[in-house]
């Protein structure tokens, strides 16, 4: 509709006094005209990936209506792809809103990159009702549940498969058996307590720290030598 005068042949057809009623609010029409006549510049993708400041990006509250207008009026990819970079720019500070917005518009690449910042959030079942409402719909809620479950399973898999002496490196003949047994018990304990949430790193570091203490005690004073 907005490209009808770009081509000379179409221009001739547009000379008639036909009109089109556009049922939009003044605010939406203003945003649409600005988007068409003064399209935004691409927000540097590398900055948003690294979690740098979103200064200079389109404010997050304006992006949902802009994306809706772009979809409704079938704006060109040159415009929509730029909008997507501005959405991604807010992923670090507002991962929930960006993840939900990307899923609602089927922006899989944006949702995938935004999901990396969701590692800082606790499991979905621990969220408040207000946080769950930010996801917008049941499909996004389900996708986030699946994402967190898969990450939890991969974390557990990594821990359970991790060798205390990878490829035999650092293996000590005198203490290898005691070290291996202690690690086997501690990693099983750790794997059961891992989740794809905010405290995973602290939980891992705390348990491993205690494991090192136990290991030091075992190697220095074996149980058979203790009172």
How would DSSP label each residue in 63-95? HHHHHHHHHHTT--HHHHHHHHHHHHTTTTT-H
pLDDT at 180: 76
Higher pLDDT, 37 or 149: 37
pLDDT value of position 149: 82
In angstroms, the Cα distances linking 80 to 7, 19, 49, 86 are 22, 26, 19, 10
Alpha carbons 91 and 192: distance in angstroms, whole number? 30
d(CA 75, CA 32) in angstroms, rounded, equals 10
Which of 30-39, 44-53, 101-110 shows the lowest mean pLDDT across its residues? Answer: 44-53
């Amino acid at each position: 509709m907005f490209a009808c005068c770009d081509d000379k042949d179409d221009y001739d057809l547009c000379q008639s006094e036909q009109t089109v009623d556009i049922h939009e609010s003044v605010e939406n029409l203003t945003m649409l005209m600005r988007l068409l006549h003064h399209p935004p510049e691409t927000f540097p993708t590398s900055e948003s990936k690294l979690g740098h400041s979103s200064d200079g990006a389109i404010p997050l509250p304006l992006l949902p209506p802009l994306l809706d207008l772009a979809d409704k009026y079938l704006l060109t990819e040159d415009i929509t792809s730029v909008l997507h970079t501005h959405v991604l720019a807010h992923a670090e500070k507002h991962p929930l809103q960006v993840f939900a917005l990307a899923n609602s518009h089927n922006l899989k690449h944006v949702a995938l990159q935004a999901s990396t910042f969701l590692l800082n959030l606790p499991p979905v079942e621990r969220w408040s009702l207000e946080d769950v409402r930010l996801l917008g719909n049941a499909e996004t809620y389900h996708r986030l549940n699946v994402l967190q479950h898969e990450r939890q399973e991969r974390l557990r898999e990594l821990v359970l498969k991790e060798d205390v002496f990878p490829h035999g490196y650092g293996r000590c003949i005198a203490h290898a058996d005691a070290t291996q047994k202690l690690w086997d018990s501690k990693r099983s304990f750790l794997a059961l307590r891992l989740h794809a949430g905010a405290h995973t790193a602290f939980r891992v570091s705390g348990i491993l720290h205690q494991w090192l203490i136990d290991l030091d005690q075992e190697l220095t004073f074996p149980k058979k030598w203790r009172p």
